[in-house]
């Protein structure tokens, strides 16, 4: 059940599926407001994750005030929406629901793979800004290596890749990386590191440094467990787990863990 919609493929902004928003954003214009296969006037838009066309249910016509408002994927392309990809439809999290792809699962290079690559390259600065906000450090000198890892793994063909999760998938496919020298902004992450590594120095500007005599710190982070979780009412949530663990100057046991919703 798709709870948000985009106006067209290749756009970034998405909107909640509710009558007021749908009428304000899509107005009563074609190709969004049109007759469906049953001849009823309905709104259409695109899924934010796979960009295939969706029909918006219970936002116009005879509405059920107690029923959910949501987007339903069309099984084939429709006039006015130039994009339809059956492979991506089958792997869209809203369609697969609880089918969790293995990290090694790949499909052949497709038009969608090419679009994912284009978005990753052309919007890389924006992707890094999202990662900074989500992960709580600045990815100093790391981001381009992560993009290289993502290309090496052909992660644009990963079965769990979609047009909405590109920043998180770049983190997911990067190797375990040292946080030493990074500028930290997340208080929970800073507190967790300080509790495990007492001699760590976190400067006023946020940079994580080792104290003299500590040797070079090795505070690794990894991003694991991309999961598609079914929620109530046929909604789904994509999740990813961030783990930070001190390897040097001494192993810190379980380390710090945070879970992201994509």
Residues near Zn ion (CB under 5 A) are: 47, 49-50, 92, 94
Q: Is 88 helix (H, G, I), strand (E, B) or coil?
A: helix
Work out how close the CB of 19 gets to Zn ion at its nearest, in angstroms, rounded to a whole number. 21
Work out how close the CB of 73 gets to Zn ion at its nearest, in angstroms, rounded to a whole number. 6
Q: Which is nearer to Zn ion, 157 or 222 (CB)?
A: 157
Tokens of 260: 């992201």
Pick from 19, 20, 14: nearest CA to 2: 14
Strands 70-73 and 53-57: antiparallel
DSSP character at residue 155: G
Work out how close the CB of 255 gets to Zn ion at its nearest, in angstroms, rounded to a whole number. 35
The full 3-state SS of 177-188, as one line of letters, equals EECCCCEECCHH
Work out how close the CB of 84 gets to Zn ion at its nearest, in angstroms, rounded to a whole number. 11
Query: Tokens 């992660």 sit at which residue?
Result: 155
Q: For residues 3 and 81, give the distance between their C-alpha atoms in angstroms, rounded to a whole number.
A: 19
- Write the CA distances from 88 to 74, 91, 229, integer angstroms: 12, 5, 18
Rounded to 5°, angle at Cα 41 from 37 and 45 = 80
Q: Which is nearer to Zn ion, 111 or 148 (CB)?
A: 111
> What are φ and ψ of residue 136, in 5° steps?
85, 25
Work out how close the CB of 70 gets to Zn ion at its nearest, in angstroms, rounded to a whole number. 12
Work out how close the CB of 78 gets to Zn ion at its nearest, in angstroms, rounded to a whole number. 14
> What are φ and ψ of residue 237, in 5° steps?
-135, 135
Give 113-144 as a DSSP string.
HHHHHHHHHHTHHHHHHHHHHHHSB--TTTHH
């Amino acid at each position: 059940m798709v709870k948000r919609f985009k106006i067209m493929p290749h756009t970034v902004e998405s909107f909640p599926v509710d009558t007021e928003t749908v009428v304000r954003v899509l107005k009563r214009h074609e190709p969004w407001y049109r007759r469906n296969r049953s001849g009823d006037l309905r709104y259409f838009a695109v899924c934010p994750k796979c960009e295939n066309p969706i029909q918006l249910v219970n936002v116009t016509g005879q509405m059920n005030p107690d029923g959910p408002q949501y987007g339903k994927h069309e099984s084939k392309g429709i006039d006015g929406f130039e994009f339809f990809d059956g492979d991506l439809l089958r792997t869209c999290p809203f369609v697969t629901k609880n089918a969790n792809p293995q990290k090694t699962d790949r499909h052949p290079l497709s038009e969608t793979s090419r679009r994912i690559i284009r978005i990753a390259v052309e919007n890389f600065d924006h992707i890094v800004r999202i990662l900074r906000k989500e992960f709580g450090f600045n990815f100093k000198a790391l981001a381009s290596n992560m993009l290289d890892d993502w290309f090496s793994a052909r992660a644009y063909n990963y079965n769990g890749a979609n047009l909405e999760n590109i920043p998180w998938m770049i983190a997911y496919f990067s190797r375990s990386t040292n946080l030493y020298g990074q500028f930290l902004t997340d208080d929970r992450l800073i507190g967790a590191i300080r509790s495990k590594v007492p001699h760590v120095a976190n400067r006023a500007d946020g940079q994580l440094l080792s104290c003299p005599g500590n040797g070079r710190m090795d505070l690794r982070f990894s991003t694991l467990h991309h999961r598609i979780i079914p929620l109530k009412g046929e909604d789904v949530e994509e999740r990813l787990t961030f783990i930070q663990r001190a390897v040097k100057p001494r192993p810190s046991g379980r380390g710090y863990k945070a879970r992201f919703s994509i």
